[in-house]
């Protein structure tokens, strides 16, 4: 004999199954959206670091050309002695790396993703472009600070992973800046995961 209690139990089970089945596409969509957002961050990072029509990559190659020419001629590359038009391009490269540093600091760009491909260009750029900022830093001490800390992190990454020495000296204070920044970045990422 079917009682009212049995009907209620069956109705509860059917309702539970309908709701559960209805939630499956939503959960799948959320997982897919999360993967798509992560992929978008990666692609946007690559686009930022190469630039529209690869102009940023072209500037990095221009720096390589200058450095190769200095090596061939046995001279030291001096960014302050090159034509202003090229210094302006290198300033654009530095500003791009400073922006990337800001995004890394706030946990938007994963450090390992960035350093896996761009650690060497960041180090090279900081090593050779830095003299342009020394004058500005007398008036503006924080000028290109995120680029600097990003370069320190990239150098430490390559030193740990490939036993490469950076092209610039890294003090204990510099290492402490990077460690503090990296911890802050990780905390930022954890906050986003649980928000």
Beta strands in the chain (DSSP E): none
Q: Which of 8, 18, 117 is nearest to 60 (CA)?
A: 117
Q: Rounded CA gap, 154 and 1, in Å? A: 75
Q: For residue range 161-186, what is the model confidence (pLDDT) as tens digits?
A: 999 998 888 999 998 888 888 776 55
Q: Rounded CA gap, 1 and 9, in Å? A: 14
Record the tokens describing residue 192, joined without a space: 């986003």
Statement to judge: residues 154 and 108 lie in one domain: yes
Average pLDDT of span 53-81: 94
Q: Quick one: pLDDT at residue 50?
A: 87
Q: Rounded CA gap, 18 and 23, in Å? A: 9
Q: Rounded CA gap, 136 and 146, in Å? A: 15
Statement to judge: residues 34 and 127 lie in one domain: no
Statement to judge: residues 34 and 58 lie in one domain: no
Q: Quick one: pLDDT at residue 28?
A: 57
Q: How confident is the model at residue 30 (pLDDT cuts 50, 70, 90)?
A: low
Q: For residue range 107-142, what is the model confidence (pLDDT) as tens digits?
A: 888 888 899 989 999 999 999 999 999 888 888 988
Q: With 50 as the cut, is the pLDDT of residue 195 above it?
A: no
Statement to judge: residues 106 and 37 lie in one domain: no
Q: How confident is the model at residue 193 (pLDDT cuts 50, 70, 90)?
A: very low
Q: How many CA atoms lie within 13 A of 194 on its CB side?
A: 5
Q: With 80 as the cut, is the pLDDT of residue 7 above it?
A: no
Report how many domains make up the chain. Answer: 2
pTM of the full structure: 0.75
Statement to judge: residues 89 and 173 lie in one domain: yes
State the residue range of the domain holding 27.
Answer: 1-42
Q: With 60 as the cut, is the pLDDT of residue 192 above it?
A: no
Q: Quick one: pLDDT at residue 136?
A: 85
**CA–CA–CA angle 174, 177, 180 (5° rounding):** 150
Q: With 80 as the cut, is the pLDDT of residue 23 above it?
A: no
Statement to judge: residues 112 and 72 lie in one domain: yes
At 1 the three-state DSSP class reads coil
Q: Rounded CA gap, 118 and 110, in Å? A: 12
Count of residues for the chain? Answer: 195
Q: With 80 as the cut, is the pLDDT of residue 154 above it?
A: yes
The overall average pLDDT reported for the chain is 83
Statement to judge: residues 154 and 91 lie in one domain: yes
Q: How confident is the model at residue 189 (pLDDT cuts 50, 70, 90)?
A: very low
User: DSSP string spanning 102-155?
Assistant: HHHHTTSS-HHHHHHHHHHHHHHHHHHHTHHHHHHHHH-TTTTHHHHHHHHHHH
Statement to judge: residues 35 and 109 lie in one domain: no
Statement to judge: residues 80 and 165 lie in one domain: yes
Statement to judge: residues 34 and 108 lie in one domain: no
Statement to judge: residues 61 and 143 lie in one domain: yes
Statement to judge: residues 13 and 33 lie in one domain: yes
């Amino acid at each position: 004999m079917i009682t009212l209690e049995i009907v209620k139990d069956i109705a509860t089970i059917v309702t539970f199954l309908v709701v559960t089945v209805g939630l499956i596409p939503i959960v799948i969509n959320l997982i897919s959206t999360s993967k798509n957002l992560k992929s978008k961050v990666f692609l946007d990072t690559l686009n930022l670091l190469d630039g529209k029509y690869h102009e940023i990559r072209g500037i990095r190659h221009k720096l390589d050309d200058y450095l190769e020419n200095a090596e061939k001629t046995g001279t030291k590359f001096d960014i302050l002695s090159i034509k202003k038009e090229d210094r302006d391009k290198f300033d654009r490269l530095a500003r791009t790396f400073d922006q990337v540093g800001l995004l890394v600091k706030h946990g938007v760009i994963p450090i390992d993703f960035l350093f896996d491909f761009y650690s060497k260009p960041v180090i090279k750029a900081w090593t050779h472009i830095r003299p342009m900022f020394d004058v500005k830093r007398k008036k503006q001490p924080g000028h290109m600070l995120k680029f600097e800390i990003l370069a320190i992190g990239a150098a430490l990454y390559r030193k740990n992973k490939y036993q490469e020495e950076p092209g610039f000296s890294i003090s204990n204070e510099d290492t402490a800046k990077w460690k503090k920044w990296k911890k802050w970045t990780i905390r930022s990422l954890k906050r986003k995961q649980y928000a």
